[in-house]
Amino acid sequence: MSNIKYILGSFGDPDEMMHGIEKLQENNIKIHDVYTPMPIHGIEAKLGVKRSRLDIAAFFFGITGTMTMLTGVYLATVVDWPINIGGKTHFALPDFIPITFELTILFCAFGLVGSYYASTHLFPGRAPRVMDLRATNDRFIIAVDAKENTEHTKIDELLKGAGALEVKYNERKYISYE
């Protein structure tokens, strides 16, 4: 066995890369991941990435904001320190709609982005797990686990046949670590 850990097919064109994914899948070769410099539409269906549930999370974060503000204002203006302003009701709901709306948006946005960062492991200072430095520039990279898929020459042929400009054999999983 060689020390090759990952085989990378480096494509210059997103359509050719999609073709490469199809080729590999037709031959029952499991794809580890795909790294691209821009979002590729339709790729998640091919690779079986599940639909995001972030929208549901966002809704509940938003509702939490709504409830927080309404509760907070109620506690402040009715329970803790009611003020008689011309005999008007203490809990003057129409007045609190703007701030309730703002807090809904605030909670929704922070909750949503926080969940996104947490679910995709993004945080300041995280060591980037990069397999090919050009994947954020002009190359579309298909990564195949070389230990699981042992027919290396076949993978090579399939990738090149689909239009890969280059096929790399990485002995380290991530090249970005020093």
Partner 1 sequence: MSGHNESILREPLITGKNITYAQITDDILLPVENKPNRAWWIGFIISLCGATLWVVAVSYTFWFGIGAWGLNKTVGWAWDITGFVWWVGIGHAGTLISAVLLLFRQNWRNSINRSAEAMTIFAVICAATYVVSHMGRPWLAYWVLPLPNQFGSLWVNFNSPLVWDMFAISTYFSVSLLFWYTGLLPDIATIRDRAEGMRKKVYTVLSFGWTGNVKTWQRFEAVSLILAGISTPLVLSVHTIVSMDFATSVIPGWHTTIFPPYFVAGAIFSGFAMVLTLLLVARKVLGLENYITMFHIESMNKIIILTGSIVGVAYLTEFFIAWYSGSEYEQYAFINRSTGPYWWAYWMMMTCNVISPQLLWFKKIRTNIAATWILSIVVNIGMWFERFVIIVTSLHRDYLPSSWAMFYPTWVDVSVFVGSIGLFFTLFLLFLRVLPSIAIAEVKLLLKSASEQAKLELIKDGHLDKEQVAEYVESLDKFDSVKQEEYAKI
Comparing CB distances to partner 1, the nearer of 99 and 154 is: 99
Residue 78 touching partner 1 (CB under 8 A): no
Strand partners, 10: 141, 166
Residue 77 touching partner 1 (CB under 8 A): yes
Residue 95 touching partner 1 (CB under 8 A): yes
- Contact indicator for 9, 156 with CB cutoff of 8 Å: no
| N-term to C-term CA, the chain | 25
Residue 6 touching partner 1 (CB under 8 A): no
Positions 41 through 60 that interact with partner 1 (CB under 8 A): 41-44, 47, 49, 52, 54-55, 58
Q: What binding mask, one character per residue, do residues 10-39 give for partner 1 by CB under 8 A, x or -?
A: --x-xx-----------------xxxxxxx
From candidates 2, 92, 150, 171, binder to partner 1 by CB under 8 A: 92
Residue 113 touching partner 1 (CB under 8 A): yes
99-105 contacts at long range (C-beta below 8 A, 24 or more positions apart): 99/69, 99/73, 100/65, 100/66, 100/69, 100/70, 100/73, 102/69, 103/65, 103/66, 103/68, 103/69, 104/62, 104/63, 104/65, 104/66, 104/69, 105/62, 105/65
Residues 6 or more apart from 169 whose CB is under 8 A from it? Answer: 2, 4, 6, 7, 8, 146, 152
From candidates 28, 84, 120, 153, binder to partner 1 by CB under 8 A: 120
Binding site for partner 1 (CB under 8 A): 12, 14-15, 33-44, 47, 49, 52, 54-55, 58, 62, 72-73, 76-77, 80-81, 85, 92, 95-96, 98-99, 101-103, 105-106, 108-110, 112-113, 116-117, 119-131, 133-138
